[in-house]
Each structure stands twice: as C-alpha cells, then as structure tokens.
Structure 1
Amino acid sequence: MLEVHQFPCLSDNYGFLLHDPESGETAAIDTPDGAEYLKQADAKGWKITHIWNTHWHPDHAGGNGAIKDATGCEIVAPKEVERISPIDNLIAHGDKVKLGEWEAEVVDVSGHTNGHIALHIPKARMAFVGDSVFALGCGRMFEGEPQQFWDSLDRVRQWPQDTTLYCAHEYTQSNAKFALHADPDNVELQLYSDEIDAKRERGEPTVPMQLGRELKTNPFLRADANDLRKRWGGSNPAETFAALRTAKDNF
C-alpha cells in the first residue's frame, strides 16, 4: 500500500511525501519548503524521485529547485508552474501519472488559480487537492471565476465518499467558524466543529479529511443545497458559491 508522510512546514502548510514501498519511489506533493522535504525524506530513508505540483504558488512549488538539485527527481506539474520552476513532465486534466504501479488521475480543479490540478488515486481512495478544497472550506478565488470554481468542486464531489482528501493548509478552525455562520442549522457541522476544536486543543492536525463528511458540512461543496441557496441567494449553484466565497473573503 502507498504510505503518506504528513508534516507541518512554513507557518500553516502541510507537506506530504507519498511513498510506494514496492518500487521505492517517493513523490513530494508540492514543495513549500525544499530543505524540510529533504530532511523529512532522509529521516524516513526515502529518496524523492518525483515532485507532483498542484499549482504555481510559491508555497506549493517554491522548493522545486532545491529538491531537484539534491535528488535529480522528475518535476511533474501543470503548465502554470513554469512561472517559477522548470517542468520535466507537463500534465493537464485527463492525464495520468504513475508512482510505481499506482496511477493518479489529473483533475482540473481550477478557480484558486487557472491551472490548478488535483491528483486523484482511485485505487488508494485518496486525492491531493492543494488549495482547491480545504476542510470546511476552499481556496480564495485569485484567478478564476465562480462557475469555473464550482465546476471544479463538482468534479471533486463525484469521487467516492470514502476518498481521503489531503489539503495543503491548517485552516480548519477558521473555516469552521465561517461554515457555522453560513449554515447555522447544520447539526453534523456543529459536531464536526466541536471535534476540530478538540483536535487543535490537543495539537493534532485536522487534515486529511473524508470527502463524505465534507459533502455534508462544507458550505462550498453544498452550494447546490436548497437551504444554502435560500439563505445566500443565487439562481444556480455557481451564484450561491460566489456569494459564499465573497462572504468568506470578508468574514
């Protein structure tokens, strides 16, 4: 089975090393801090053979050069990453990439940036979603449009509900506060928020999360729900999503 090593880096990022024991290959999922990734890989006894970037922001691709120089690994990324790093293997929606015999599907989740992708590994029931989806939230809409971002989230919603989502930041407590403001009658959300507070009190991460639970509690994934559309307006889910995103930006 694939092994995921998760560790904190920078101020609120999570780093991920994805390791296939059969082949010995290891992918660095995004590279917020190249030195920390190399340190973590060395501690595990793993050599980084690939970098898989989700988007171009420096806290996701800024460590590419340091890791490439140290390991000679292959940089696998969407075209937008060329803004800050060379790419060895250019990927886009519909492509597939492999780590050993494990296959990841490249999925367009643009909206936070226009070239943002996720890496979905169906047989492992996991996905690395960068800044497209957070626990109880989603990324800011820096480059995209509401319909584009909603379509991206809808693609994520189609994955099996037992899919484990690895997102890139520990934003969950603040996301929960907005989610409760956006959807105050959601009992499942209230329970989830209490669990999040308890985890953070113990110093535990709230990432990864399960898609099935997010579908019940994350307001950005529920923008098509009648109760949210009544509360936030919009003649279609994209308009409701836009209203929620604007409200979160100003919350």
Structure 2
Amino acid sequence: MLSVTPIPALSDNYIWLMRQDDSSSIAVVDPGDATPVIELIEREGLTLDTVLITHHHHDHTGGLDELKQRYRPHVYGPHNPSIAGIDTPLADGDQCSVLGRRFEVIATPGHTLDHISYFAAGIPALLLCGDTLFFGGCGRLFEGTPEQMHDSLTRLAELPDDTLVFAAHEYTLANLRFAKAADPGNSRLDAVIAQCQALRDQDRPTLPSHLGTEREINPFLRSGDAALQASAADHGATDSALATFATLRAWKDNF
C-alpha cells in the first residue's frame, strides 16, 4: 500500500512523502527545502529513491540539488532546462513508475508554463498537482493565461470523484473564504469550512481533499454554474465559463 503524508516546509508548503508500508524506500514531491526531508530520512533510516517535480518555482525545487548530491535519487520533472538535476523530463501523456505505482503525466500550464501534474489510477487514485488545483482554489497565473489554467483545471476535474488531491500549499481556509464570497448560496461550503477550521485549530493539514468535494465547492471548477456566473457578472464577467473563470481569478488576486 502506497501511503502519502505531508512534510511541512517553509511557511505553508507541503513536501509530499510517498512510501510503501513494507519498504524503507521513499519518494518526495516538490522539495522546496532539503532540511526537513534530510531530518526525516536520517531519523528513520530511509532511502530516497525518487523525486517528482511539478514546476520550476524555488519553493518547489530549492532543496533538489542538496538531496540529489546527498542521496542520488532519480528525479522526474517537466521539460525545463532551468531546473537542474532532472534525470527524466516528462511531457503530457508520459508515464513514470514511483515505488511500484504507475503515474500518468498531465500537462497543467497556467500557474507556470512548465507545470505538470501526476495522476495514479487505482484505489485510492492519487493526484499530485503542485500549484494548479488547491483545496477550494487554484494557483495564481504567473506565466500562463486564464484559458490555459481553465483548460488545465477542466482536465483535472474529469478525474474520478474519489481521487485524493495533494496540493502543495496549506491555503485552504483563505480559499474557502473566497469561495463563500463568490458562491454564497452554496450550502455545502459551510460544512467544509467548519471541518477545515477544526483541522487547522488542531494544527493538522486540511489536505488531501477529494476531487468530488472540489467539484461541489471549488469556484474555479464551477465557472459554468449559473450562480457563479451571476456572481462574476457583478465584477464584469460575461456569461461564458472562461470569462467567469478569468473574472474569479482576478477577483481572488485582490480578495
């Protein structure tokens, strides 16, 4: 059984740790800081087998060089020569094997142009989506266009309901506050907000989320919904899903 657990890093990042129950070999996703990963490996006598990178931002790659030099893991990541240390560059539709689990690569540009996500079918299905899809939100558009991000999220939204969504940041409560402002009539949000607030009050992660929940409460996956289109219209959107998405994203940037 492949387990996925968070290693908190930096101010609000999660470096996702993957391991099989009967093995000391591990994989990590987006190591923005090497220190907490090294501490865990040395404390528990683990072996770093694989590193997955979703995009080039330093808070996702900052620890890669030190981990590569110290443990020599195999590193998968996007086709981007600015990311030093990638052994196998990956593009949309490629596959990679991580600790015996097969992951499909999904190109998810928007936050950055090189962003990729990793999806493993099965029970449970796993989505490692970096800064594309957050619990109740999505990434800022630093390099891509609203159309690119909308298309990327639409692809992710087509995955199975029970997919566990492993985003890279603990942004959930802020995202849900915006979701409530954009979609005040969504009664499902109240229960989700209460649940996530209780977790944070105990200093516990809100992640992973479930894709089925995201489809119910995440405004950026629901830009075709009439209520959200009406809400976005108050901020200048027309009635298309893409225009609604772009308006919601700009609104969230200044929320």
Could you state the TM-score of these two structures normalised by the residue count of structure 2? 0.94
Using the alignment, how far apart are the partners of 1:178 and 1:120 within structure 2? 27
Alignment match, 2:30: 30
Name the structure with the higher helix share: 1
1:240 lines up with 2:244 in the alignment: yes
Query: CA offset at residue 22 of structure 1?
Result: 5.9
Q: Deviations over 1:183-242 (max 9, x none)?
A: 011000121112122221122111111110111001011111121112213342121110
Using the alignment, how far apart are the partners of 1:106 and 1:162 within structure 2? 19
Number of equivalences = 250
Alignment match, 1:98: 97
Percent of residue pairs bearing the same amino acid type: 37
Using the alignment, how far apart are the partners of 1:141 and 1:104 within structure 2? 25
Query: CA offset at residue 56 of structure 1?
Result: 0.4
Alignment match, 2:55: 55
Could you state the TM-score of these two structures normalised by the residue count of structure 1? 0.95
- Give SS of 2:5's match: strand
Runs ≥4 in structure 1, deviation > 6 angstroms? none
1:77 lines up with 2:81 in the alignment: no
Paired letter, 1:103: R
Ranges in structure 2 where 5+ consecutive residues have no aligned partner: none
Using the alignment, how far apart are the partners of 1:210 and 1:19 within structure 2? 20
Alignment match, 1:216: 216
Using the alignment, how far apart are the partners of 2:179 and 2:161 within structure 1? 20
Using the alignment, how far apart are the partners of 1:150 and 1:128 within structure 2? 18
Paired letter, 2:15: G
Alignment match, 2:178: 178
Using the alignment, how far apart are the partners of 2:31 and 2:7 within structure 1? 12
RMSD: 1.4
Distance 1:230 1:8, change over 3 A: same
Work out whether residues 23 and 100 of structure 1, in 8 Å CA contact, stay in contact via their aligned partners in 2.
no
Alignment match, 2:189: 189
Deviates further, 148-157 or 234-243: 234-243
Distance 1:23 1:201, change over 3 A: closer
Paired letter, 1:216: E
Ranges in structure 1 where 5+ consecutive residues have no aligned partner: none
Using the alignment, how far apart are the partners of 2:51 and 2:7 within structure 1? 16
- Give SS of 1:98's match: strand
- Give SS of 2:48's match: coil
Work out whether residues 7 and 36 of structure 2, in 8 Å CA contact, stay in contact via their aligned partners in 1.
no
